[in-house]
Amino acid sequence: METHTGVLLITANVGSLFDNVGEIQSEWLREFFTTVRCFKPQFIALHFQEVGGKDYMLNMGHAENFFWSIETSEEMKDFDRVCIYVDNQFKVEDSFTALGSMYFIHKALKDIYQYDFRVKDFKTVSGHNKYVGSLDGVTTMEKEKFPKNFWPDFKWSRKGFMRTRWIIHNQGLDLVNVHLFHDASNLIACKSSPSVYSGNRKKALRYVINRISDGGTSPLPFFLFGDFNFRLDTLSLVQHLSTSADVQTVTKDSSNEVEKIICEEKDNDHKVLLQIEPKLFAYLHQAFFREENGKALLKYDKEVATFHDVMREEEILFPPSYPYSEDFSKPTQYMNTRCPSWCDRILMSHAAQDFIHRSNDGEESVVYNTLGPNVCMGDHKPVFLFFALKTNDH
């Protein structure tokens, strides 16, 4: 008999929660609890990136409090089994990823098992299992930082992935938390199409898919969700935005290195329409990125298409998830540091997509959206997917 289990997947780059502790954190928790109350899932997977923020040496304590406040909250009391993995051991530089994954199982969900990668078998999940530190020797998850020699031209950073494996009512699933490389400079990003950064992300994501597909365990349907750092095809977008503008390239005196690109409107008193510097992307008509949830930008969102052979995604009906203002009073405004993009995503293998129940009566049974669209959640809006997992009861 086919049964349905409500599943809620959430990905959140929480770096700015720890760099600006206080109101943003309480807003974040309130939005999360509201979403849980609204959808009443039986299984919740929370994937966090940048745990501890940029100043992780100072902020790791705040991060632990944040996880603690979710785990011990009144709102989560009906989730009687919890598995938490937080890689916060920043002193172990060659393996630190700053990833955190939390899994909550509702008391109504009876039939659930978790994989032990060491004994290569599934075990019943019980109680609260919390692993915080370097996670060495933890056998119910696999974690890897991307190899140093992957990108010899770029600074090695704490990017990587973490995987757990589950059986929910006879349905096996891999849940993979991933954090890929960002665009270090807007000027380099708009030099070529696709950009050099896009090529790096593609290589890293293929690496993850290969690792989970042939890592010594038989492949299962998977959900890969995290901060992919996917960016819009900046060169094509800039060409589009500046079609009726005068484009001026400013170079450094001593070398021919481009310092900034300035696009001025031909009329309208030569107002600066767009200015691009390594860490500045200032577009005069910022509302363009939010109009109709950024629909006009989707044609520049090309990085995921390379992976359609192995993965799909629900239709995106929300505005770009990054970089939002961290000013509490401007929750829907973007910062002018980067071109707004859908960095935070939930992707799934074709096999996983087949297990999502879709109702025929027009009821919205699958919801793919951002958390807290109208409140300040930090520079990334968390992204969630709620669906009913088709399972079989014997």
Return the pLDDT at 216.
66
Answer yes or no: pTM beyond 0.85: yes
Task: List pLDDT tens digits, range 180-198.
Answer: 999 999 999 999 999 999 9
Q: Would you tell me which CATH number, out of the four given (1.10.3720.10, 3.90.1150.10, 3.40.30.10, 3.60.10.10), belongs to the domain 2-232+284-392?
A: 3.60.10.10
Q: Confidence class of residue 230 from pLDDT cuts 50, 70 and 90? A: very high
Q: Please write the tens of the pLDDT for every residue from 351-387.
A: 999 999 887 765 668 999 999 999 999 999 999 999 9
Task: Tell me the C-alpha distance between 39 and 79, whole Å.
Answer: 14
Exposed/middle/buried for residue 320 (C-beta within 10 Å: 0-12, 13-18, 19+): buried
For residue 163, give every residue at least 6 positions away whose Cβ sits within 8 Å of its Cβ, in sequence order, or none: 141, 142, 143, 174, 175, 176, 177, 212
Alpha-carbon gap, residue 176 to 164, rounded angstroms: 7
> Tell me: the pLDDT tens digits for 33-46?
999 999 999 999 99
